[in-house]
Amino acid sequence: MKNIIIASTSTIHGGSYLEYLLDELKVHFRNCETILFIPYARPSGITHDEYTAKAAQAFAKINIAVKGIHEFEDAEAAIKDAEAIFTGGGNTFLLVTQLYQNKIMSTLANAIKNGTPYLGTSAGSVICGLSMQNTNDMPIIYPPSFQTLAVIPFNINAHYLDPDTNSKHMGETRETRLKEFHSFNNIPVLGLREGSWLEVRDNTITIKGGLQARLFIANEAPLEIEDNTDISDLK
């Protein structure tokens, strides 16, 4: 039974790291004393140790210990033995590259599908989809494949931004870029706004966080999906 939180971001304006999710995480990880943290995305280029310390500081508030996957000699065994797993945000290209280089993409997918509680934020959420092709990140490194965990049957665009009607910026909007994706691909894409997340319980997928999500399907107009909507049939 899948037990997943797929969050658009780790931090919302005015709050500290994971603060807005802590009440939810108390319930999500209620049977866990330790969490395996995957720091491979390295936001702003920080080290694995620095990133793990940041996650540990947040989880200490709910009395859960954190250990980074880089601290284990065998990354595959660490995933298989983990009580719970958290993959943080940063650069999705780097995260996916590291998962493939360490030969743990399929191991991680299997652990999640078999019920290991999982939290993803930002890049750690993007990889829950069929591919990483709807990330917002710069391609700072070239991964062996764009295929990711496929623990949900569609893609995620984290940090989804609506067009700013007061802006003089003439470049592409997020919506424009997602329409470009659908010129060549048929995978549905869910735009998750800051502060929202998906709750996945087995095969039931529900939008949470009090905000609407924006759904993009090839050859269809984008749709606003209400909070608490069951989107389990989306594929």
Report, as residue numbers or ranges, the catalytic residues: 122, 137, 159
Q: Which residues make beta-bridge pairs with 36? A: 67, 85
DSSP letter assigned to residue 199: E
Q: Give the number of other Cβ atoms within 10 Å of residue 228's Cβ.
A: 11
Q: 3-state DSSP: the chain helix, strand, coil percent, rounded to 5?
A: 30, 20, 50
Longest dimension (CA), the chain: 52
DSSP letter assigned to residue 229: -
What CA–CA distance (Å, rounded) separates 32 from 153? 27
DSSP letter assigned to residue 5: E
What CA–CA distance (Å, rounded) separates 214 from 100? 30
